[in-house]
Amino acid sequence: MDSNVQLVKNILKYTFGLVPIVAGIDKFTIILTNWSQYISEGFAGMLPFESTTFMMIVGVIEIVVGVLVLTKTKLGAYVVSAWLVTISLTLIFSWSYVDVAVRDLVMAIAAFCLAKLYENKQSKAKN
């Protein structure tokens, strides 16, 4: 059973480490999608700069968070979980891309579970 737990931990760690890095890089290359489309018009109007600039800032944050998951998994997983909840709430409040919001909430739960798995690992090491 421990090998299954370790497998799950590794899959989640690399998923939540690499996917934010790829998404962050794509904020600059726009190969996967035009990320600015996910910003509501109301929010875009409040920005002091273009939506594409905002998404590049988001991209840098995502890259940093992905690296954090790969190097300090528990902390990084909590950050990813909070980040995904924030994205979900933003989409829900603007009532756009609600399907993406629901998917991101599910991913936030998985990231939270990853953090808890690493928390459990650390508490066992102290005993």
Q: Is the CB of residue 104 less than 8 Å from the CB of residue 87? A: yes
For residue 123, the model assigns a pLDDT of 54
So what's the pLDDT on residue 122? 55
- Per residue of the chain (127 residues), give pLDDT as tens: 688 999 999 999 999 999 999 999 999 999 999 998 888 888 888 999 999 999 999 999 999 999 999 999 999 999 999 999 999 998 898 888 999 999 999 999 999 999 999 986 555 555 3
Alpha carbon of 74 to those of 23, 59, 93, 103: distances in Å?
20, 21, 29, 21
Cβ proximity of 16 and 76 under 8 Å: yes
Domain boundaries, the chain: 2-126
For residue 86, CA distances in Å to 31, 74, 117, 123 come to: 24, 19, 22, 28
User: What's the pLDDT at 127?
Assistant: 38
